[in-house]
Structure 1
Amino acid sequence: MSVTNQTDILLDSGTNELEIVMFMVGTGTFGINVLKVREIIQPVEITETPNRHSHMKGIIRLRKEVIPVIDLAEVLEYQAPEQTGQDKFIIGELNKMKVAFHVHSVSRIHRISWEQIEKPGELSRGHQAHTIGIVKLEQRMALLLDYEKIVMDIAPQAGIDKQALTQLPSKDRSIKSIYIAEDSPVLRKLLEDTLCEAGYTSLHIFEDGKEAWQALQSKAAEEEIIDLLITDIEMPKMDGHHLTVRIKEDPVLKHLPVVIFSSLISEDLYHKGSKVGADAQVSKPEILELVQELDKLLFE
């Protein structure tokens, strides 16, 4: 089952909508953005690898690619049901990596607004903080997981490489005021730490696009200087594409440089960020490229 052909109508005009693939792990209902999904396949033979992480079942060969398999039941500490024959592998692509998420069933695709997604509170988030959104549907709720964190826990090399920052030329980056919209707690912390290490220390960080938009409007009304915004795409309440549209249509904020920093920056989606007016787009976890783009926009 391929889902990539269903993304064309999404995000073209920053509509603040997304489509999610609904699936089950144990007794839990979860969702994953269609834009992260390359295809959904029947389980195939897994080759076990030595000394692998406990959440990783092994690897599979899909056509010419070797792909690791992550057992979401292990990640989430859910009991696997008795064999039902409905298990699926969701082949996802994020942070320039392909992974297969083993789930117990896949139901359907829902088109929803980011306004229907609430940020989880501390109690509902869970002790490992894997939940980043609660999807409110008519009949039920589903959880959006922090898939980047799940992958980074297993493969830390998929995260941000701070060593790359040693290649940067010296600049007084502390004079620039940067706003950041990022919903993943893990990536917020990584982004804050690495940007500070690069010298960008005047950071204002928000958990979703709506919070960032409200803060930008407030600061603009007070005529305070904001030099640049970094935004993720996937965020509860308001996604990064819609946030970019709002900024570029605002008579006061329209000249604010916007950099999209997301695991969803692939060749076929890059044009959608350009269409909504993003000044630069960088794929996670390329932190050196991100800082280089900031330097270009702020110092050249």
Structure 2
Amino acid sequence: MADTVTEERKGILLETGTNEFEIVEFSIGKVNYGINVAKVREVITRAPVTAMPEAHPYVDGLFTLRGKAIPLVNMARCLNLQTADELQNIIVTEINNYDIGFLVGSVYRIHRISWKNMEPAPNVGEGSRVVGIIKMEDRIVLLLDFETIIAEINPEINQKLTTVTEATQDAKTRRGTAHIVVAEDSKMLRDLLVSTLHEAGYKFIRDFGNGQDAWDYLQDLARKNGPIENHVRIIISDVEMPKMDGHRLLKLVREDNRLSEVPLVLFSSLISEEMRRKGESLGASGQVSKPEINQLIDLLDTLTFGEPLHDVVDEH
């Protein structure tokens, strides 16, 4: 089945902005999960693993794929699942410019899903790694927050998301005049992003857990009196979100003559060459791969003020 899924993944190219995505469905024990096809490089059968001293508890070790050593995460251990079934497949991914494999049980087929048919995960505790629920005819498929899992294993990712270039007080004051809308479905990453932007001086931020809620809010702003830049100066959006994805949000913003000039930056773990072309075709003002927060802040400065403000000398 692994070879079939890999070939099927190669053949998929969605029309941009349709608010659809594909998942690879897999199981661990009796629970079915999904991962966005855009994150998946290929699916292979279980490979020999070399154990690593002092590795993270979720990591079985390293496996080799075409000469490259890749960490392997045992998903049963990561999700604290007891299963009698042997995990026989590896989903090889590239997320946040980081190659990593996930050891799972059975791998089934690829499904095309509308984001509006994926419900946000209910709040069942701080440690939940589920970001969405997809209801199939006879089962529920849980979409996992792989970015959070990787950040737990590799703390450098969170460090990059929270370490900002020092700015002058003048720069922070100027940034404090810009109103920003953020759409990001991972609560952990959304909280880190908003906190880091606050630290950099961007104080006026409204954040949302999906593109639909962000779009509804933008529609409310568009109905207000005065220039739109008085209400929102820039939009930051993830690509992969329930209800409405970032590409669909971008498409709607560009088609609305009241909002079409508002800069929208895609900040996502999915900025591959193919995804970059999709964003450009829809009119993205910029695209930055997570977790490169300093690149994002430089881009926000440039789009809002014409230059990166950390390079501006404080004259006061």
Same fold (TM over 0.5): yes
Q: Find 2:289's aligned residue among 279, 283, 286.
A: 283
The aligned residue for residue 246 of structure 2 is 240
The aligned residue for residue 59 of structure 1 is 62
Cα contact 1:160–1:190 (8 A) shared by 2: no
- State the Cα deviation string for residues 12-64 of structure 1 (Å, max 9, x = none): 33000001000001211000000000000010100000011111111111112
* 2:79 alignment partner AA: L
For the aligned residue pairs, the C-alpha RMSD in angstroms reads 1.5
Q: Find 1:21's aligned residue among 18, 21, 24.
A: 24
The aligned residue for residue 311 of structure 2 is none
The aligned residue for residue 36 of structure 1 is 39
The aligned residue for residue 11 of structure 2 is 6
Partner secondary structure for residue 52 of structure 2:
coil
Mapped partners of 2:265, 2:299: distance in 1: 8
Mapped partners of 1:61, 1:182: distance in 2: 33
Asked if 1:47 is matched to 2:32, the reply is: no
Counting only pairs closer than 5 Å after superposition, residues 159-178 of structure 1 correspond to structure 2 as: 159-161=158-160, 164-168=163-167, 171=171, 172-178=174-180
* 2:305 alignment partner AA: F
Which runs of 5 or more structure 1 residues have no equivalent in the other structure? Answer: none
Residue 140 of structure 1 deviates from its aligned partner by: 1.4
Cα contact 1:261–1:281 (8 A) shared by 2: yes
Residue 268 of structure 1 deviates from its aligned partner by: 2.6
- State the Cα deviation string for residues 145-164 of structure 1 (Å, max 9, x = none): 11000011011112242574
Mapped partners of 2:134, 2:289: distance in 1: 25
Mapped partners of 1:281, 1:186: distance in 2: 21
TM-score for the superposition, normalised by structure 2: 0.89
Asked if 1:73 is matched to 2:76, the reply is: yes
Asked if 1:296 is matched to 2:295, the reply is: no
The aligned residue for residue 88 of structure 1 is 89
Cα contact 2:177–2:204 (8 A) shared by 1: yes
Runs of 4+ in 1 over 3 A off after TM superposition: 167-170
Percent of paired sites with the same residue:
41
* 1:95 alignment partner AA: N
The aligned residue for residue 198 of structure 2 is 196
Partner secondary structure for residue 144 of structure 1:
strand
* 1:134 alignment partner AA: I
- State the Cα deviation string for residues 260-290 of structure 1 (Å, max 9, x = none): 0000001232100111111100000000000
TM-score for the superposition, normalised by structure 1: 0.94
Mapped partners of 1:99, 1:177: distance in 2: 36
Mapped partners of 1:262, 1:27: distance in 2: 31
Cα contact 1:160–1:286 (8 A) shared by 2: no
| Bigger radius of gyration | 2
Instruction: State the aligned residue count.
Output: 294
Residue 78 of structure 1 deviates from its aligned partner by: 0.8
Cα contact 2:73–2:101 (8 A) shared by 1: yes
* 1:63 alignment partner AA: R
Q: Find 1:211's aligned residue among 190, 210, 213.
A: 213
Q: Which moved more, 1:18-27 or 1:155-164?
A: 155-164
Residue 112 of structure 1 deviates from its aligned partner by: 0.9
